[in-house]
Amino acid sequence: MPSDKLYNDPKLVEFYDIENGWAADSEYLKSISAGHTSILDLGCGTGLLTSALAATGKRVVGVDPAVAMLDVARLRPGGDRVRWVEGDGRTIRLNESFDLVLLSGHAFQVFLTREDQLSVLQTIAVHLAPEGSFIFDSRNPRMEEWRKWTPAESERDIVHTVLGKILAWNDVRHDAETDIVEYGTFYRIAKDGCTYAAQSKIAFPSYEDLVSMMDEVGLVVERWLGGWDGRPFEISAPEIIPIGRRR
């Protein structure tokens, strides 16, 4: 989790924005933030979305446990408008409240146990203003997206502005007993053959699990989305995206 090289090794963090740039989730979250004046971005990563939200004049705090990610975030254009905090989503307590608390990029899935997932949901709850909203995303386990994370299906070419052409790929292992997925991420630099690699683990909580945990920590879901295109959640949707408030 916090020790994952993918997020903590500066050499690997260099590839993060190339693979995880501005996308449909960023666009949706920027859109729904329009009616909010204060935002807590848990698991803010390199701060691409966080900085964009702060650029509109909102009070924005970005929290992440990975120093290497925050180092990138602080240097990002507009990063000086954000208060960056090194912290763990399970335990961070800022003693302030926000109109909107978000956790995007499937960051919720790095918390592997029900206990840890409940702790993150409690963090969301304690930082919500009375009329505040929360939103986060998690892949729908029914769709078994991880089955495509094999070397053959995931191989791709990316381009780094300094290192040039990079061959990237993943591999994957699934623990049927725990439903934990462990996947490798690999980057091979074309000009010298140097390869950077990391091993990561993520969980796939079900819709039913999320409903139960949300109720346990006092969160009420007002809308369930099944994708960042705004579709409603149903059992074959790719995403599980709850939007709600404190009870």
pLDDT in tens, 38-95: 999 999 999 999 999 999 999 999 999 999 999 999 999 999 999 999 999 999 999 9
**Which residues contact residue 106 at a Cβ distance below 8 angstroms, ignoring those fewer than 6 apart?**
137, 138, 139, 202
* pTM of the full structure: 0.96
The CATH number of whichever domain residue 36 belongs to comes to 3.40.50.150
Half-sphere exposure at residue 105, Cβ-oriented, CA atoms within 13 angstroms: 20
Q: 187, 202, 217: which is the final residue of a domain?
A: 202
Based on the fold, state whether residues 240 and 181 are members of the same structural domain: no
Same domain, 172 and 83: no
23 and 134 inside one domain:
yes
Kindly report, residue by residue over 161-215, the tens digit of the pLDDT. 999 999 999 999 999 999 899 999 999 999 999 999 999 999 999 999 999 999 9
The residue segments making up the domain with residue 29 are: 5-141+204-246
Check whether residue 11 and residue 100 sit in a common domain. Answer: yes
CA distance 130 to 124: 12
- Please say whether the dihedral angle defined by the alpha carbons of residues 6, 10, 13 and 14, taken in this order, is positive or negative: negative
Query: Any long-range contacts for 151-157 (C-beta under 8 Å, 24+ apart)?
Result: none
Q: Domain end: 171, 186, 202, which one?
A: 202
The total number of structural domains in the chain stands at 2
